[in-house]
Amino acid sequence: MTEILKTTLTTWIMVSMIAGALFGTFINFQGLEESAFVQEFLVEGVFSVIGAIFISALKMLVVPLVFVSLVCGVTSLGDISALGRIGCKALILYLLTTALAVTIALALAVFVSPGGDYILNSGGESFTARPPPLLSKVLTDLVPSNPIAAMADGNMLQIIVFAILFGVSMTLVREQGGRIRDFFSDLNGIIMKMVGLIMYLAPIGVFCLVARTFTLQGADVIMPLAGYFLVVITSLLLHAGGSFSLLLKLVGGLDPLIFFKKLRTAIAFAFSTASSNATIPATLSVVEDRLGVRKSVAAFTVPLGATINMDGTAIMQGVATVFIANVYGIGLGMSDVVTIVLTATLASIGTAGVPGVGLIMLTMVLTQVGLPVEGIALILGVDRLLDMVRTAVNITGDATVTCIVAKSENALDRDIFSDPAAGVVQASP
């Protein structure tokens, strides 16, 4: 019994995720999801309520955690020029990984050619495209006219801008800001304790979220789109296991096996919540406590990555574009391929903070290469399951860039990174 209680939180989360997937698939396979008991009591009752409470608890922490951590991180840097270096390195790496992701996806999609034998039948589904924001609006919306409203709305880019300005100003006033720095330091400790408390509920929340998704989706929704689904999944795994591993080893000089093993908790969170923002507390906790990244770097690069780094979404766009082109019998030339890479990469920043960002970005890509936007309706059925996987890839990219940037700034503790027991959380308080 003692050994069971000592099982790490990561293990319990992984077990809960697998158990939820198996339980949900079993219910769907048996056709039990149609029964009143399963539908009302389990799916819309226990699974829905507990899952919603868990996600709300995570989202509750995101704004205060990002704001306080970022202010503490900026003030701990001392040298304001270091902030500019970190920002430039992170932005370049995020753009690089996104371009690499969509290139891998396009290459694999062109080789496999999903949708070539697909029978065009959207089942009456339709998709109404939302207009993408203008670049001028994206730039002007970076600066919040009301920072309190930005926090209430959860506008991450505006919160990041305000937190950086606040932290820089606090650093510049030096002695006068000493008491405020102490206050934020104490507040950060309290918020991290809140994160720890909610983490203990994670296995239950993860089980309910995954079980509900697999109960409703099952395997039937995948079969008609098996080619598209498998190409996206393969591209995601290649990018996560290949591209990120090479970057960690060649650019960061870090062991990818240790990195992925320690990132399991955050990956499980991302998979179950399908939200990079909701996973920020888990990602920050892992990169700081388990991977040894200094707070001054992690507090900036992780929230920034959760907002603008969308490698998984870029992969979906590349495969979906080829799939829709094949279904409608429209050929793509080399210029179209280049356009897709550029549009998907730049759109990962240009549409930051906009709800439904994945579909908006795909709309932009399809429009740029002259494909019918209505084709998005064909892939809506499997998008939820794919969204879970690509969110896990997104936060893996955030953590990869964070570790590489931290290593370049001498802000990564190699002893903590290499220590398998560093930052391990037990499943019982």
What CA–CA distances, in Å, run from 367 to 363, 375, 382? 6, 11, 22
pLDDT (tens digit, 9 = 90+) per residue, 214-244?
A: 787 665 556 667 788 899 999 999 999 999 9
Is the pLDDT score of 250 beyond 70? yes
Q: State residue 354's pLDDT score.
A: 41
Selection from 2, 8, 4, 83 nearest residue 289 by Cα: 8
- The two three-digit tokens of residue 13, written as one number: 């989360």
Is the pLDDT score of 170 beyond 80? yes
The topology (CATH level 3) of 2-418 is Proton glutamate symport protein (1.10.3860)
Burial class of residue 424 (count of CB atoms within 10 Å of its CB; 0-12, 13-18, 19+): middle
Whole-number CA gyration radius for the chain: 22
More confident residue, 226 or 263: 263
225, 327 in Cβ contact below 8 A?
A: no
283, 395 in Cβ contact below 8 A?
A: yes
Selection from 403, 425, 207 nearest residue 297 by Cα: 403
Label residue 253 by pLDDT band (50, 70, 90).
very high
DSSP E strand stretches across 2-117: none
Distance CA 315, CA 305 (A): 16
Helix (H, G, I), strand (E, B) or coil at 427: coil
Is the pLDDT score of 355 beyond 50? no
What's the predicted TM-score (pTM) here?
Answer: 0.74
Q: State residue 1's pLDDT score.
A: 31
pLDDT (tens digit, 9 = 90+) per residue, 373-414?
A: 777 767 766 777 788 888 899 999 999 999 999 999 899 999
Is the pLDDT score of 36 beyond 80? no
Label residue 260 by pLDDT band (50, 70, 90).
very high
| pLDDT over 90, % of the chain | 16
Distance CA 394, CA 26 (A): 29
Is the pLDDT score of 344 beyond 50? yes
Question: Residue 253 — φ and ψ, nearest 5°?
Answer: 65, 30
Is the pLDDT score of 35 beyond 50? yes
Q: State residue 5's pLDDT score.
A: 37
- Ordered by start, the domain boundaries in the chain are 2-418
Helix (H, G, I), strand (E, B) or coil at 426: strand
Question: Residue 172 — φ and ψ, nearest 5°?
Answer: -70, -30
- The two three-digit tokens of residue 352, written as one number: 């930051």
Q: State residue 78's pLDDT score.
A: 63
DSSP 386-417: HHHHHHHHHHHHHHHHHHHHHHHTT-B-HHHH
pLDDT (tens digit, 9 = 90+) per residue, 199-217?
A: 778 788 888 887 887 787 6
- The two three-digit tokens of residue 64, written as one number: 């205060």
In the block, residue with structure tokens 């990169």: 287
- The two three-digit tokens of residue 284, written as one number: 């920050």
Read off the amino acid at residue 21: A
- The two three-digit tokens of residue 394, written as one number: 């997104």
Q: State residue 291's pLDDT score.
A: 93
Distance CA 289, CA 10 (A): 13
